[in-house]
Structure 1
Amino acid sequence: MFIKRMARGLPGGRYFRRSLLTMLMIACIPGIVTGGLLYIWINVRMESILQEAHAKQLEQRALWVGEQLDTLELNFSQWAFDPVFDHRLKELDFIYKYKQVHELYRLLLMIRHSNPLIDDVQLYLKEPRAVMMNSERYDFLTAPAEISSYEGLLRRAQGAYWTRSADGASPMLVNRLPAGAGDTIGALILTVDAGQLESMLGTLSPYAGGTTFLLNADGTPLFPQDREVSALQAAVGLERNRLADSGSPNSFLMEYEGTTYSVLSGDFRRLGHDWIYVSASPLNEIVAPIVSVPRLILAVSGAGLLLALALSWIGSLRLYQPLQRLLRLFTGIEPAGIERGRQESMRGNDMLSGKRRSASRMDEMKHIEQHWLGVKRERESLQQRFEEQLPLARNNLLQQLTLGQLHSSSDREWRARLAELGWAVQDEHFIVMLCHIRPVTLLQKNGNPFGKESPEWIGIMAADMLTQRAGELPCLSETINYHDLSIALLLAVPPHGESGIGISRFREEVCRIGQQWIDAVQAEWGVRVTVAVSQACADATHLPKLVQEARTVLRKRRFSSASPLTDMAENAEEAGMDRAFYPLELEQDILAALRNGSEQEAMDRFRDFANRYAASASPGEQVRQAMYQLLAHIQHALAQLGEDPVRLFGLGLYEEVMELHDLEETCVWFRERIIRICVEEFTGREEKQVQMAVHHMKEHAETQYAEALSLDELADAHGIHAYTLSRAFKQAFGQNFVDYLTAVRLERAKELLRTTDVKISEIAEQVGYQPSYFNRLFKKSEGTTPNRYRQDLQRQDVHARDDRSV
Structure 2
Amino acid sequence: MSQVWKRRVRKGIFYRKSLILFLITASLPGLIVGASVYGFAVGQMEEHLGKLHQRQIMQRTRNIDDQLQYLELGLAHWAFDHQFGPGLRQLDFVYYFQQTWDIGKTLVVLQGSHPLIKDAELYVERESDQPVLFRPGYYELNDEAAISSYKSRLADPRTVYWDVRNGQLMLVHKVPGDSTAPFGALLLTVKREKLLNLMRTLTPYHEGFTMLLDSEGHVLLSDSPETETNERLRDAVAAREDKTGTFVFEDDGVAYSVSYGTMQRVQTEWTFVSAAPLTEIVSPVVVTSRILINVSMLGLLAALGLSWFASNRIYSPVARLIKLFSPEKAGDEEALRLNEFQYLERRWTHITRESRQLQERLNRQLPYLRTGFLQQLLQGHLYGYSEEELRERLQRYGWHVEGHRFCMLHIQLTGYGSVSDRFSGDESLVSFTAANIMEELARERFGQFGVIPFYNLSIGLLVAMPDEPDNGGRLHALAEELTLAVNRILRMQLTVTIGKPAAMVKDVPALFAEMVRASGFRIFGDQNQLIDLVSGERQPGGEKAKYPFALEQEIVQSLRMGRYQEAGRAVRAFLEEMLSHRGTEYDVKQGMLQLLAGIRHMILEAGLESEAMTEGEDWFEQLLRMREPGKMVRWIETHVIASYARAAEARAKAQQKRMVERTIEYMHAHYMRDISLEACADLAGTTPYTLSKLFKQTTGVNFIDYLTDIRIGKAKALLRESDKKITDIAEEVGYQPGYFNRIFKKHVGVPPGKFREMA
TM-score relative to the length of structure 1: 0.35
Task: Select the structure of larger CA radius of gyration.
Answer: 1
TM-score relative to the length of structure 2: 0.37
- Relative CO higher for 1 or 2, CA cutoff 8 Å, sep ≥ 6? 2
